[in-house]
Structure 1
Amino acid sequence: MHRCRLVLSACLLFVLSCSPVAAQAAIGVAMDDFSYTDTSAEPTNQTAAHERRLAAFMAALRRDIDADQRYRLVPSAQDGAAFKVIGGIQKTSTLVQWAKVAVIDVGAKKLVMDKLYSFRGDNDESWERAEVFVSREVMAALGTPAPVALAVFDFELEDMTAASAGASAGSDASYLAEVTGGVREALSQSGRYRIVDVGTEAARAGALRDCGGCEASIAQKLGADQSLMGVVRRVSRTEYTLGFQVRDAGTGAVLARGDSGLRMGADYSWKRGAVRLVRDRLIDSQ
Structure 2
Amino acid sequence: MPFSRLALSAVLLVVLSCSPAAAEAAIGVAMDDFSYTDTSAEPANQTAAHERRLSAFMAALRRDIGEGGRYRLVPSAKDGAAFKVVGGIQKTSTLVQWAKVAVIDVGTRKLVMDKLYTFRGDNDESWERAEIFVSREVMAALATPAPVTLAVFEFELEDTTAASVGALAASDASYLAEVTGGVREALGHSGRYRIVDVGREAATAGALRDCGGCEAAIAKGLGADQSLIGVVRRVSRTEYTLGFQVRDASTGAVLARGDSGLRLGADYSWKRGAVRLVKDRLVESQQATDAARR
3-state secondary structure, aligned to 2:285: coil
Q: CA deviation at 1:261?
A: 1.1
Match of 1:135 among 85, 110, 124: 110
Q: Which residue of 2 aligns with 1:187?
A: 187
- Equivalence map 1:1-286=2 (5 Å): 76-78=89-91, 79=97, 81=99, 83=101, 134-136=109-111, 143=142, 144-165=144-165, 169-286=169-286
For 2:202, give the aligned amino acid: A
Counterpart Cα distance in 2 of 1:228 and 1:157 = 15
Structure 1 unaligned segments of length 5 or more: list them: 1-29, 32-73, 86-102, 104-111, 116-132
For 1:81, give the aligned amino acid: A
Counterpart Cα distance in 1 of 2:150 and 2:229 = 11
Task: State whether residues 175 and 270 of structure 2, in contact with CA within 8 Å, keep that contact through their aligned partners in structure 1.
Answer: yes
Q: CA deviation at 1:76?
A: 3.6
Task: State whether residues 155 and 180 of structure 1, in contact with CA within 8 Å, keep that contact through their aligned partners in structure 2.
Answer: yes
Counterpart Cα distance in 1 of 2:167 and 2:150 = 34
Q: CA deviation at 1:166?
A: 6.7
Counterpart Cα distance in 1 of 2:102 and 2:284 = 32
Task: State whether residues 148 and 194 of structure 1, in contact with CA within 8 Å, keep that contact through their aligned partners in structure 2.
Answer: yes
Counterpart Cα distance in 1 of 2:187 and 2:200 = 21
Deviations 1:123-171 (A, max 9, x none): xxxxxxxxxx643588899634321000000000000011142787010
Runs of 4+ residues over 4 Å off in structure 1: 136-142
TM-score by length of 2: 0.52
Q: CA deviation at 1:204?
A: 1.0
Counterpart Cα distance in 2 of 1:281 and 1:84 = 31
Structure 1 residues 257 and 201 mapped into 2: Cα distance closer, same or farther (>3 Å)? same
Structure 2 unaligned segments of length 5 or more: list them: 1-33, 36-86, 92-96, 115-137, 287-294
Task: State whether residues 136 and 145 of structure 1, in contact with CA within 8 Å, keep that contact through their aligned partners in structure 2.
Answer: no
Counterpart Cα distance in 2 of 1:80 and 1:155 = 44
3-state secondary structure, aligned to 1:261: coil
Structure 1 residues 203 and 80 mapped into 2: Cα distance closer, same or farther (>3 Å)? same
Counterpart Cα distance in 2 of 1:280 and 1:162 = 32
Structure 1 residues 201 and 268 mapped into 2: Cα distance closer, same or farther (>3 Å)? same
For 1:135, give the aligned amino acid: K
Task: State whether residues 258 and 281 of structure 1, in contact with CA within 8 Å, keep that contact through their aligned partners in structure 2.
Answer: yes
3-state secondary structure, aligned to 1:200: coil
Task: State whether residues 77 and 84 of structure 1, in contact with CA within 8 Å, keep that contact through their aligned partners in structure 2.
Answer: no
Counterpart Cα distance in 2 of 1:222 and 1:285 = 26
Counterpart Cα distance in 2 of 1:167 and 1:251 = 33
Q: Aligned residues: percent identity?
A: 73
- Matched residue pairs, number? 172
Higher gyration radius (CA): 2
Task: State whether residues 102 and 113 of structure 2, in contact with CA within 8 Å, keep that contact through their aligned partners in structure 1.
Answer: no
Q: CA deviation at 1:231?
A: 0.2
For 2:207, give the aligned amino acid: A
Counterpart Cα distance in 1 of 2:211 and 2:102 = 45
Counterpart Cα distance in 2 of 1:250 and 1:138 = 25
